[in-house]
Homo-oligomer: A and B are copies of this chain.
Amino acid sequence: MSSASDSVRASGRRPVTPRAHPGKAYHHGDLRAALLCSARTLLEEQSIAALGLRAITRHAGVSQTAAIPHFGNLTGLLSALATVGYEDLADALTPALPQGAHAAGMAYVRFAIRNPGLFTLMFRSDAIDRKEPDLAAASAQTSAMLTRLIGSLEGPRSSQTRAGTRAALWGKVHGLAVLAVDGLLEPLLTFDGEEMSLDELIADALR
Protein backbone atom coordinates (compact mmCIF):
# COMPACT_ATOMS: atom_id res chain seq x y z
CA MET A 1 0.00 0.00 0.00
CA SER A 2 1.72 3.14 -1.20
CA SER A 3 0.63 6.44 0.30
CA ALA A 4 0.44 9.52 -1.81
CA SER A 5 3.38 11.23 -0.19
CA ASP A 6 6.08 8.57 -0.14
CA SER A 7 5.57 7.48 -3.69
CA VAL A 8 6.10 10.84 -5.31
CA ARG A 9 9.58 10.50 -6.61
CA ALA A 10 12.52 12.81 -6.87
CA SER A 11 12.21 15.61 -9.35
CA GLY A 12 13.35 13.77 -12.41
CA ARG A 13 15.98 15.12 -14.73
CA ARG A 14 16.06 18.58 -13.23
CA PRO A 15 18.58 18.48 -10.36
CA VAL A 16 17.00 19.30 -7.04
CA THR A 17 18.27 22.47 -5.48
CA PRO A 18 19.55 21.69 -1.99
CA ARG A 19 17.48 23.77 0.36
CA ALA A 20 19.42 25.98 2.71
CA HIS A 21 16.52 26.93 5.00
CA PRO A 22 14.18 23.95 4.88
CA GLY A 23 10.56 24.90 4.42
CA LYS A 24 10.93 28.58 5.12
CA ALA A 25 13.15 29.99 2.45
CA TYR A 26 11.97 32.06 -0.45
CA HIS A 27 13.25 29.27 -2.60
CA HIS A 28 11.27 26.28 -1.51
CA GLY A 29 13.97 23.72 -2.16
CA ASP A 30 11.96 20.97 -3.76
CA LEU A 31 8.75 22.64 -4.80
CA ARG A 32 8.45 20.41 -7.83
CA ALA A 33 8.08 17.28 -5.73
CA ALA A 34 5.92 19.09 -3.19
CA LEU A 35 3.52 20.19 -5.92
CA LEU A 36 3.29 16.66 -7.31
CA CYS A 37 2.59 15.41 -3.80
CA SER A 38 -0.13 18.00 -3.26
CA ALA A 39 -1.64 17.20 -6.62
CA ARG A 40 -1.72 13.48 -5.87
CA THR A 41 -3.31 14.09 -2.49
CA LEU A 42 -6.01 16.30 -4.00
CA LEU A 43 -6.53 13.76 -6.75
CA GLU A 44 -7.15 10.81 -4.44
CA GLU A 45 -8.82 12.64 -1.54
CA GLN A 46 -11.15 14.65 -3.73
CA SER A 47 -11.44 14.08 -7.45
CA ILE A 48 -9.79 14.66 -10.77
CA ALA A 49 -11.92 17.77 -11.19
CA ALA A 50 -10.19 19.32 -8.16
CA LEU A 51 -6.85 19.28 -9.95
CA GLY A 52 -6.56 22.97 -10.74
CA LEU A 53 -3.38 24.97 -10.81
CA ARG A 54 -4.69 27.26 -8.10
CA ALA A 55 -5.99 24.45 -5.92
CA ILE A 56 -2.69 22.60 -6.08
CA THR A 57 -0.52 25.62 -5.30
CA ARG A 58 -2.94 26.62 -2.51
CA HIS A 59 -2.61 23.16 -1.00
CA ALA A 60 1.18 23.44 -1.17
CA GLY A 61 1.11 26.88 0.42
CA VAL A 62 2.67 28.82 -2.40
CA SER A 63 1.41 31.46 -4.78
CA GLN A 64 -0.92 30.80 -7.71
CA THR A 65 1.76 30.74 -10.35
CA ALA A 66 4.58 29.03 -8.49
CA ALA A 67 4.15 25.90 -10.58
CA ILE A 68 4.87 27.65 -13.87
CA PRO A 69 8.69 27.63 -13.67
CA HIS A 70 8.63 23.90 -12.95
CA PHE A 71 5.91 22.62 -15.26
CA GLY A 72 5.12 25.39 -17.74
CA ASN A 73 1.39 24.97 -17.39
CA LEU A 74 -1.32 22.75 -15.94
CA THR A 75 -0.90 20.14 -18.65
CA GLY A 76 2.77 19.90 -17.79
CA LEU A 77 2.04 19.33 -14.14
CA LEU A 78 -0.59 16.70 -14.84
CA SER A 79 1.70 14.99 -17.33
CA ALA A 80 4.41 14.80 -14.68
CA LEU A 81 1.90 13.32 -12.25
CA ALA A 82 0.83 10.77 -14.85
CA THR A 83 4.50 9.91 -15.32
CA VAL A 84 4.72 9.12 -11.62
CA GLY A 85 1.67 6.94 -12.13
CA TYR A 86 3.28 4.92 -14.92
CA GLU A 87 6.41 4.46 -12.84
CA ASP A 88 4.37 3.26 -9.88
CA LEU A 89 2.40 0.94 -12.14
CA ALA A 90 5.64 -0.56 -13.44
CA ASP A 91 6.74 -1.11 -9.84
CA ALA A 92 3.46 -2.84 -9.05
CA LEU A 93 3.74 -5.03 -12.14
CA THR A 94 7.36 -6.08 -11.74
CA PRO A 95 7.00 -8.71 -8.97
CA ALA A 96 3.89 -10.19 -10.62
CA LEU A 97 5.30 -10.61 -14.11
CA PRO A 98 7.26 -13.85 -13.56
CA GLN A 99 4.11 -15.43 -12.11
CA GLY A 100 2.31 -15.29 -15.44
CA ALA A 101 -0.50 -13.45 -17.13
CA HIS A 102 -3.13 -13.96 -14.45
CA ALA A 103 -0.98 -12.52 -11.68
CA ALA A 104 0.13 -9.65 -13.87
CA GLY A 105 -3.46 -8.84 -14.80
CA MET A 106 -4.51 -8.88 -11.17
CA ALA A 107 -1.65 -6.54 -10.31
CA TYR A 108 -2.73 -4.15 -13.07
CA VAL A 109 -6.36 -4.02 -11.96
CA ARG A 110 -5.47 -3.81 -8.27
CA PHE A 111 -3.19 -0.87 -8.97
CA ALA A 112 -6.09 0.89 -10.67
CA ILE A 113 -8.44 0.18 -7.78
CA ARG A 114 -5.95 1.38 -5.19
CA ASN A 115 -5.10 4.53 -7.16
CA PRO A 116 -8.33 5.33 -8.97
CA GLY A 117 -7.68 9.01 -9.52
CA LEU A 118 -4.12 8.52 -10.69
CA PHE A 119 -5.07 5.66 -12.98
CA THR A 120 -7.85 7.74 -14.49
CA LEU A 121 -5.47 10.63 -15.07
CA MET A 122 -2.96 8.35 -16.80
CA PHE A 123 -5.49 7.75 -19.58
CA ARG A 124 -7.03 11.24 -19.83
CA SER A 125 -5.52 12.05 -23.17
CA ASP A 126 -6.97 15.54 -23.17
CA ALA A 127 -5.53 16.47 -19.78
CA ILE A 128 -1.97 15.25 -20.31
CA ASP A 129 0.55 15.51 -23.12
CA ARG A 130 1.74 12.11 -24.27
CA LYS A 131 4.54 13.73 -26.27
CA GLU A 132 6.21 14.90 -23.05
CA PRO A 133 9.45 12.87 -23.14
CA ASP A 134 9.37 11.68 -19.53
CA LEU A 135 5.78 10.56 -19.86
CA ALA A 136 6.38 8.85 -23.18
CA ALA A 137 9.35 6.98 -21.71
CA ALA A 138 7.50 5.85 -18.58
CA SER A 139 4.50 4.79 -20.63
CA ALA A 140 6.66 2.90 -23.12
CA GLN A 141 8.40 1.09 -20.30
CA THR A 142 5.10 -0.17 -18.93
CA SER A 143 4.09 -1.20 -22.42
CA ALA A 144 7.33 -3.09 -22.88
CA MET A 145 6.66 -5.12 -19.76
CA LEU A 146 3.41 -6.29 -21.32
CA THR A 147 5.20 -7.23 -24.52
CA ARG A 148 7.77 -9.28 -22.63
CA LEU A 149 4.98 -11.02 -20.73
CA ILE A 150 3.21 -12.04 -23.93
CA GLY A 151 6.46 -13.19 -25.47
CA SER A 152 7.18 -15.47 -22.54
CA LEU A 153 3.75 -17.07 -22.51
CA GLU A 154 3.73 -19.77 -25.18
CA GLY A 155 5.56 -21.22 -28.10
CA PRO A 156 6.48 -19.42 -31.31
CA ARG A 157 3.69 -17.57 -33.07
CA SER A 158 3.44 -15.27 -35.99
CA SER A 159 3.93 -11.66 -35.09
CA GLN A 160 0.43 -10.98 -36.32
CA THR A 161 -1.28 -13.27 -33.83
CA ARG A 162 1.13 -11.94 -31.21
CA ALA A 163 -0.23 -8.46 -31.79
CA GLY A 164 -3.75 -9.83 -31.49
CA THR A 165 -2.91 -11.67 -28.28
CA ARG A 166 -1.29 -8.61 -26.86
CA ALA A 167 -4.25 -6.42 -27.67
CA ALA A 168 -6.60 -9.03 -26.25
CA LEU A 169 -4.78 -9.29 -22.94
CA TRP A 170 -4.18 -5.58 -22.52
CA GLY A 171 -7.71 -4.79 -23.58
CA LYS A 172 -9.26 -7.23 -21.14
CA VAL A 173 -7.13 -6.13 -18.24
CA HIS A 174 -7.45 -2.44 -19.00
CA GLY A 175 -11.19 -2.68 -19.55
CA LEU A 176 -11.73 -4.43 -16.24
CA ALA A 177 -9.61 -1.78 -14.53
CA VAL A 178 -11.54 1.09 -16.09
CA LEU A 179 -14.92 -0.45 -15.35
CA ALA A 180 -13.93 -1.27 -11.77
CA VAL A 181 -12.65 2.24 -11.11
CA ASP A 182 -15.86 3.73 -12.45
CA GLY A 183 -17.95 1.46 -10.21
CA LEU A 184 -19.56 -0.13 -13.24
CA LEU A 185 -18.82 -3.69 -12.14
CA GLU A 186 -20.68 -3.35 -8.85
CA PRO A 187 -24.05 -4.39 -10.28
CA LEU A 188 -22.43 -7.73 -11.12
CA LEU A 189 -21.41 -8.45 -7.54
CA THR A 190 -24.82 -9.52 -6.25
CA PHE A 191 -26.84 -12.45 -7.60
CA ASP A 192 -29.82 -13.99 -5.82
CA GLY A 193 -28.93 -12.23 -2.60
CA GLU A 194 -25.43 -13.69 -2.48
CA GLU A 195 -22.48 -11.36 -2.60
CA MET A 196 -19.05 -11.67 -4.14
CA SER A 197 -16.11 -9.36 -3.73
CA LEU A 198 -14.79 -7.20 -6.53
CA ASP A 199 -11.44 -8.93 -6.28
CA GLU A 200 -13.09 -12.33 -6.70
CA LEU A 201 -15.06 -11.16 -9.71
CA ILE A 202 -11.96 -9.85 -11.40
CA ALA A 203 -9.96 -12.98 -10.61
CA ASP A 204 -12.82 -14.92 -12.16
CA ALA A 205 -12.95 -12.73 -15.24
CA LEU A 206 -9.20 -13.01 -15.79
CA ARG A 207 -9.19 -16.82 -16.22
A contact set with B: CB distance below 8 Å: 47-49, 123, 125-126, 143, 159-168, 170-179, 182-183, 185, 187-189, 191-192, 194, 196, 201-202, 204-207
Contacts and interface: CB of A to CB of B under 8 A. Distances in A.
B164 A170 contact: no
Contacts of A162: 191
A179 to B, nearest CB: 6
B191 A163 contact: yes
Chain A interface, DSSP helix/strand/loop, else mixed:
helix
Contact of A171 (B161, B175, B191): B175
Contacts of A187: 143
A204 B167 contact: yes
Given A49-B126, A182-B123, A182-B125, A163 B175 contact: no
A167 B126 contact: no
A196 B164 CA distance: 10
A160 B191 contact: yes
Contact of A176 (B160, B165, B171, B206): B171
A78 to B, nearest CB: 13
Contacts of A161: 204
A170 B206 CA distance: 12
16 contacts: A47-B126, A123-B182, A143-B187, A160-B191, A160-B194, A163-B188, A163-B204, A164-B204, A166-B188, A168-B207, A170-B175, A170-B179, A171-B175, A171-B176, A173-B175, A178-B178
